[in-house]
Amino acid sequence: MNVSVVLFTSDLRLHDHPPLRAALEGAREVVPLFVRDRAVTGAGFAAPNRLAFLADCLHDLDEGLRERGGRLVVRSGDVVAEVCRVAAEADADEVHLAADVSAYAQLREVRLRRALEAEGVRLHVHDTVTSAVDPGAVAPASSDHFAVFTPYFGHWSRWRQRDTLGAPRKVRVPDGIGSEPVPSRRGLSGLSPGLAAGGETEGRKRLAAWLRSGIAGYEDGHDDLFGDATSRLSPHLHFGTLSPVELVHRARAAGGPGAEAFVRQVAWRDFHRQVLAARPDAAAADYRTKRDRWRTERTASEDIEAWREGRTGYPVVDAAMRQLRHEGWMHNRGRLLTASFLTKTLYVDWRVGARHFLDLLVDGDMANNQLNWQWMAGTGTDSRPNRVLNPVTQAKRYDPDGAYVRRWVPELAEVAGPAVHEPWKLPGLDRAALDYPDPLVDLSEGLARFRRARERDENRAAP
């Protein structure tokens, strides 16, 4: 065995990388390859925030490889065609790849295997790269995946994680394999001004800081919107600049109730991944349909636009939507309450919301994003599909002083204390002085509409 190709996808790191390790052990030289697949980065799915974060990741990966005597090879085009081309150029006999769960990733694996085998090249697909516990590693007796988190978490917790792998010391890349320039942030427009920086170096720095001084306060603080005691590691998990296996090991080593609560969130990520792996269509179709006849772009465009822009007249909803636009990120509590508002209060199709989140979120992820949206819409794995989060109750609970709202809704910056959550209750003059809209809908009217709609749609005869 002389040369292996390592195809990097959502695993843009050198530490704890089983495909890279296997390639280095089996071959004298390795081609670390990233393909900008037009199916992912092309028009229609161009999410500038993620393209910028991706550019950081690729730049850092290239640098890390150069420090080890290698470099990153970047190509553009169809991922299968490019892998075959590079394998032929390098005269490689093996290709290594991390397993992944989306329909796109599953099809990519099948297509790659077929195309490479026709060329006499073996494809090795590696587990425990993009998940801590792989889809199918644990399953209930009567199904290929869990549909309820709690029993899943029991099995997940008992699963023995493999040991983590160090980064390689040396990577030899064959001469003469051409590469495009590593993409950069320059030229990207429409970026969120407060967008986080990407890359493995940055991710490891954040992880170290989080374990040192963040994780201990996680259990108590994770739901507080303003305090934001969350790890902000989600984009690093999405792009694989951090290994979920390493994350679980190191969080457990940190110990304490904060670590436990944090590890539970990593398990939620794996939970959604094993649902999507078994049901890849759930990225676009109801996991369990409620036969909803949602309002859509066609029938509710003004409501949808007000939601997207953060001018629904419900301050906490608007604050969260503006945080999303400004940072390319939103606090998880905000994600739940804005999703409830769009799907339950406005009765708008969850796909409209999921799509907007994917357009902006730097951690926008098929499994987590789509299945959390379905969870909140009541078409997913939630056992109480008709639950509605009241934005005022949520605001008072998770932003008790109103600081989060004042931070993101400057029109309300002068309103002191929790009164900021209900500007419609302010005395007439004070309220008139604010350049802030009246509530888009009455909450109880929204709730009544939702209940009527669910009853109507659920009772409709099957087509």
Partner DNA sequence: GTGTATTTCAG
Partner DNA sequence: TGAAATACA
Question: Which residues on neighbouring strands pair with residue 329, listed in sequence order?
Answer: none
Q: Which of 86, 382, 390, 399 touches DNA (CB under 7 A)?
A: 382
- Judged by CB under 7 A, the stretch of 50-58, 209-217, 238-246, 382-390 that binds DNA is 382-390
- Judged by CB under 7 A, the stretch of 164-172, 182-190, 235-243, 376-384 that binds DNA is 376-384
What part of residues 302-341 is at the interface with DNA (CB under 7 A)? Answer: 332, 336
| Residue with smaller CB distance to DNA, 189 or 383 | 383
Q: Which of 66, 205, 212, 288 touches DNA (CB under 7 A)?
A: 288
Query: Could you tell me the smallest distance in angstroms from the CB atom of residue 398 to DNA?
Result: 13
Residue 128, annotated ligand binder? no
Q: Which of 281, 283, 272 is nearest to 146 (CA)?
A: 272
Residue 462's alpha-carbon distances to 58, 319, 349, in angstroms, are 49, 40, 20
Indicate the DSSP class of residue 34.
E
Cα separation of 72 and 36, whole Å?
Answer: 13
Residue 192, annotated ligand binder? no
Cα separation of 316 and 436, whole Å?
Answer: 13
Query: Hey, what are 32's tokens?
Result: 């670390």
The answer to whether the CB of 171 falls within 8 A of the CB of 210 is no
Q: Tell me, residue by residue from 267 to 286, as one string, x for binding to DNA by CB under 7 A and - for no binding.
A: -x------------------
Query: Could you tell me the smallest distance in angstroms from the CB atom of residue 432 to DNA?
Result: 39
Amino acid (1-letter code) at residue 64: G
Q: Is 124 helix (H, G, I), strand (E, B) or coil?
A: strand
Residue 169, annotated ligand binder? no
Q: Tell me, residue by residue from 131 to 170, as one string, x for binding to DNA by CB under 7 A and - for no binding.
A: ---------xxxx--xxxxxxx-xx---------------
Query: Could you tell me the smallest distance in angstroms from the CB atom of residue 234 to DNA?
Result: 12
Is 431 exposed, middle or buried (CB count within 10 Å of its CB: 0-12, 13-18, 19+)?
middle
Residue 364, annotated ligand binder? yes
Q: Tell me, residue by residue from 335 to 364, as one string, x for binding to DNA by CB under 7 A and - for no binding.
A: -x----------------------------
List Cβ neighbours of 75 (8 Å cut-off, separation of 6 or more).
33, 34, 35, 36, 82, 85, 86, 179, 180
Q: How many residues bind DNA (CB under 7 A)?
A: 23
Q: Is 444 in the site for DNA (CB under 7 A)?
A: no
- Sheet strands (E) in 311-427: none
Cα separation of 84 and 82, whole Å?
Answer: 5
- Tell me the binding residues: 218, 230-234, 262, 363-365
Q: Which residues are annotated as a binding site for FAD?
A: 218, 230-234, 262, 363-365
Interacting residues toward DNA by CB under 7 A: 140-143, 146-152, 154-155, 264-265, 268, 288, 332, 336, 375, 382-384
